[in-house]
Structure 1
């Protein structure tokens, strides 16, 4: 999976310069449908409107008038209504963030509502569906579509996209890219769970990269934040990754003694930690002997 960081920086800069911007799904649908049919601006706009009018509509610089829109929809074989239910969308976005934080799969009903359209916002939800349901190959395809249109997302949507992409990178073992991407999240935003989950994935990437010594304060701050809200499952998972990294720098015997003293983990979890320590050191021949 490839991340175009120059595209991300450009989109962030454009969003800083943009004022009173309100996303409109019509332009994205027109553009994507035209491209899918391999039609030019001239071909689509002929006898309907000017090329520049259509171009501005696609790039959301204007909303086409109803008579013109009807003709464009007919020419492009767009059957769905281009009405956008902002209320349903915002509720689903919140549901997506909750699902990411609490590690739940998005319901199939979400897929039925948001699939089958070229709309940008709908595809952001669809990306979340595939990520939470572990359909990573499909999720990766949608990510590239969204990355191409990144400047059209608002700050919250962009941060959700970064979090979803970082999870894709993480499961593919691309920890440095996940670490780098999550640095672009706005950690002063209003969505508390999104910020907490982004911090958690960021610090787990730090742990995978063996960089824990430089992020001790951030780690302790996040543990305290999570404790304050009672998110103990998330704390256990984060501590697990952090501890594994710390134990790689000591002898195996010392690491095993440390693990045995951990009261918050079950015997099965402790055995799993021991397995990973040996596995990461390439000592596969003595794993079974030690865990016997």
Structure 2
């Protein structure tokens, strides 16, 4: 998934400098449709206007002259764009933001946009698919909308960056997802619902990275705003996420007491939090027992299960799990990374395993943004190198990964590290 943050930042800077915002999307519609028809600028402009005029129009540098409108619409078959209502478009954007906050799925938002080829239609499609939980379909609109990023209004930029953050969050690129939220224009956050979505996104990424500063700063204000706007489901959701995060730092009894009074939490979510709490208290046999009793746990639960088996060094059980038939589900990036690591550790010869550690752990610049997994890989790889007396490489593992973990957490370099 190729999303270049440096390129996005450059475009946003260009946008702030130029302040050329598109109102009616005729220019972008012509550009998208011309490319779809495999037309050059010369072919598109022939008999209507100059090539430079069409280029400026496509890039929203000029407003289209009345004498050219009908002829351009006919050439590129853009009648549906000309009939576009700006008020209706703004209404659809607000409706989709409401769906994202309420975590409901829109049904007929795409009516009227399905056959259009302009940037407004692409943005509506991107937000619609985000609401539907289809980040794969949302990503299809990314490149087309990005072309016009410098021309978008603040609220449109906010929606685009939020949807892009959602795409990155789901593939566990938490640092990049968090950074995108910081780029959303202040004016876009004047809408309380949009502000709520951004705060939620920051917190969910912060939980995954164990970024304590963000959690301490934003958790209580987010709950207050959610209660003020009466979005109680957001309060229940973030309280459960916060409790799961707390399992790394609080005693088991504290976690179980809190779970007992959380009435709005489903059984699977409660089991997952219980699993995390047991794991962080080093009760690995209990993790395995609970995991095997709850076959319907999400993939995150299976990851904790594998980590517990690994911590116990149960070679026979691990080999059975790794040799089992390939699962029908698609593993998350962190689960795939863990299974690959365990494959080399338990099923491969010494030299093959060491080669993997050198190339995939020491030799890769970015491994994962998952704090728990990254910490486990650091400790485990160090132990494996030390087992075979490669002490220099064992030290290199810590030298490489400890700063990465600190960066995830945004900890000062001289602060003591507590895993």
Structure 1 distance, partners of 2:276, 2:95, is: 34
More displaced stretch, 2-11 vs 37-46: 2-11
How far is the alpha carbon of 1:100 from its aligned partner? 0.5
How far is the alpha carbon of 1:207 from its aligned partner? 0.4
Structure 2 distance, partners of 1:58, 1:256, is: 57
- Superposed, 1:132-281 pairs within 5 Å as 132-187=131-186, 189-250=189-250, 253-254=252-253, 256-266=255-265, 268=267, 269-277=269-277
Cα pair distance change 1:234/1:63, threshold 3 Å: same
Larger Rg, first or second structure (1 or 2) = 2
Aligned length: 290
Cα pair distance change 1:289/1:25, threshold 3 Å: closer
How far is the alpha carbon of 1:74 from its aligned partner? 3.3
Q: Secondary structure at the match of 2:38?
A: coil
**1:37 counterpart residue number:** 37
Q: Secondary structure at the match of 1:80?
A: helix
More displaced stretch, 193-202 vs 163-172: 163-172
Structure 2 distance, partners of 1:171, 1:282, is: 29
**2:288 counterpart residue number:** 285
| Structure 2 spans left out of the alignment, 5+ residues | 296-419
How far is the alpha carbon of 1:206 from its aligned partner? 0.4
- Superposed, 1:49-60 pairs within 5 Å as 49-60=49-60
Q: For each residue in 1:165-216, what CA deviation from the matched residue of structure 2 results, as whole angstroms up to 9, or x when unmatched?
A: 2122222322222111111123453211001111111111100111135530
Q: For each residue in 1:102-137, what CA deviation from the matched residue of structure 2 results, as whole angstroms up to 9, or x when unmatched?
A: 101112x21122212111111111111111112222
**1:3 counterpart residue number:** 3
Structure 2 distance, partners of 1:231, 1:39, is: 49
Structure 1 distance, partners of 2:141, 2:266, is: 40
Cα pair distance change 1:206/1:106, threshold 3 Å: same
How far is the alpha carbon of 1:285 from its aligned partner? 2.3
**1:64 counterpart residue number:** 64
How far is the alpha carbon of 1:272 from its aligned partner? 3.6
Structure 2 distance, partners of 1:74, 1:20, is: 26
Cα pair distance change 1:57/1:250, threshold 3 Å: same
Cα pair distance change 1:24/1:282, threshold 3 Å: farther
**2:310 counterpart residue number:** none
Structure 2 distance, partners of 1:90, 1:259, is: 42
Structure 1 distance, partners of 2:55, 2:206, is: 44
Where relative contact order (Cα < 8 A, 6+ residues apart) is larger, the structure is 1
Cα pair distance change 1:129/1:213, threshold 3 Å: same
How far is the alpha carbon of 1:282 from its aligned partner? 11
| Structure 1 spans left out of the alignment, 5+ residues | none
Structure 1 distance, partners of 2:127, 2:44, is: 32
Structure 2 distance, partners of 1:40, 1:99, is: 40
Is the CA contact 2:102–2:231 (under 8 Å) kept in the aligned structure 1?
no
Q: For each residue in 1:75-123, what CA deviation from the matched residue of structure 2 results, as whole angstroms up to 9, or x when unmatched?
A: 334453524311101111110110001101112x211222121111111
Q: For each residue in 1:243-271, what CA deviation from the matched residue of structure 2 results, as whole angstroms up to 9, or x when unmatched?
A: 211212345x4465344453444572433
More displaced stretch, 124-133 vs 4-13: 4-13
